Amino acid sequence: MMHQHMMGEDIPKFYGATTLGERGQVVVPAEARKDLNLSPSTKLMVFSGPIGEGLILVKAESVAEILAHANKMLSGFEEVLKSSEDESP
């Protein structure tokens, strides 16, 4: 969930900290479960973080939407790059 808006960028909301248990389990904070509508049956996908030092948990049902949004953003970047190349002398 994006919480704050700072200088045109969405800042993820910080829900607190959790500790990895002996069996590799973590507890998702109650506020995050409520805000993100997570229930015991919710499937989560686990990705490594952008610098390889963390994990990103994403609702499995949202992955396609996230990829579509990322693809749209990349297409926009491609258009900007192309138009700037067209304007170069």
Q: Is the pLDDT of residue 2 over 60?
A: no
15 Cα distance to chain centroid: 14
Lowest mean pLDDT among 19-23, 37-41, 42-46, 50-54: 50-54
Confidence of residue 88 (pLDDT cuts 50, 70, 90): low
DSSP assignment string, the chain:
-EEEEETTEEEEPP-------TTS--PPPHHHHHHTT--TT--EEEEE-TTSSSEEEEEGGGHHHHHHHHHHHHHHHHHHHHHHHHH--
Q: Is the pLDDT of residue 25 over 50?
A: yes
Q: Residue 11: its pLDDT value, please? A: 82
Across 47-68, average pLDDT = 88
